[in-house]
Amino acid sequence: MEYVNLGRSGLKVSRLCLGTMNFGTYTSETESINIMNRGLELGINFFDTANVYGGLDNPVGLGETENIIGRWLTEDKSRRDKIVLATKVYGRMGSAPNQSKLSAYHIRKACEDSLRRMKTDHIDLYQMHHIDRETPLEEIFQAMEQLVRDGKVTYLGSSNFAAWNIAEAQMFARHRNFLGLISEQSIYSLRNRNIELEVVPACKHFGLGLIPWSPLGGGILCGVLEKQKEGRRNRTPLQKSVEKLFPQIEAYENLCKQINQTPADVALAWVLSNTVVASPIIGPRTVEQLEQNVKSLELKLDSETLSRLNEIWPGPGNQAPEAYAW
């Protein structure tokens, strides 16, 4: 396993981040525990979750993914010091008016609840899951700084922020003599390269490690055409995407065959080739998927392959404004 600094911080994280969104919904607790055990064995030390995970189609409800992680940590208390534990705050955790977003009220309560569910006394990376357009930065940073002072949070990160949100947050933190953000978690893959316009340059400038979510394009980059032949990947939204992007997907899977690599490995290797990327999030539903994902670290794409991938899945071509002006 390779390890890199998360942004400009001194924190070392594995080059793949274990995403846990499937735990408790699409993946049973037993298999979730097997995945975490195997991930640790393979050297993955970066675990990402969110307080809202576990609620989809799950009678236990919101927070169940954090509960599963907490039970896993309790089984062997030595595990806690072997991982970088990241979770998020913003999503609605109840029907009351203050049970969502980034008010100081909700941040404090959400953090306490996450700590309780995960059976730990601190969160290594506490991420704002979305920008809150109703709460002033003064309030957000005051709440976050208090959590850091109390030892409940070590580092602060963002997720789904626009570039100007990142810039505003970093300049505000600098004004308060606070470290500010060390990471941004954004959607990023060959299929969706929008953040190359401004978010990627902003991360580079302000020293944020980029944590791509959905690096496999929601399943589009996993060899979906071949899996269709096997009777898999039949979700309606995915099928619509396949129909829309069929020529690109076909060209992509043919290229992967030519270089004798699996589509998922190529997709992850491409994301990892971006120097701003610290650790893309993988969301395996089985141990087998986890082990296959880790193999992508062995793949280094040459310039010719990268060029052909750019032809199949073109990005904006440059950062803003050069992408659309002179």
Count of alpha carbons within 13 angstroms of residue 36, beta-carbon side: 31
Tell me the chain's radius of gyration from C-alpha atoms: 20
What is residue 69's three-state secondary structure? helix
Task: Decide if 25 contacts 56 (C-beta within 8 A).
Answer: yes
Active site residue 53: yes
Name residues whose C-beta falls within 8 Å of residue 110's C-beta, 6 or more positions apart in sequence. 51, 89, 93
Please give the structure tokens belonging to residue 53.
Answer: 């995970």
CA distance 324 to 326: 7
Residues present in the chain in total: 326
Identify the sign of the CA torsion 21, 22, 24, 29.
negative
Residue of 3, 53, 105, 324 marked active site = 53
CB burial readout 250-289, b (16+ within 10 A) else e: eebbebbeeeebbbbbbbbbbbbebebbbbbbbbbbeeeb
Task: Decide if 164 contacts 195 (C-beta within 8 A).
Answer: no
Of residues 313, 263, 258, the one with CA closest to residue 292: 263
Of residues 111, 84, 115, the one with CA closest to residue 279: 84
Q: What is the enclosing helix (H) or strand (E) of 188?
A: none
Of residues 75, 95, 104, 312, the one with CA closest to residue 190: 312
Name residues whose C-beta falls within 8 Å of residue 81's C-beta, 6 or more positions apart in sequence. none
279, amino acid identity: S
CA distance 298 to 305: 15
Residues labelled as active-site residues? 53
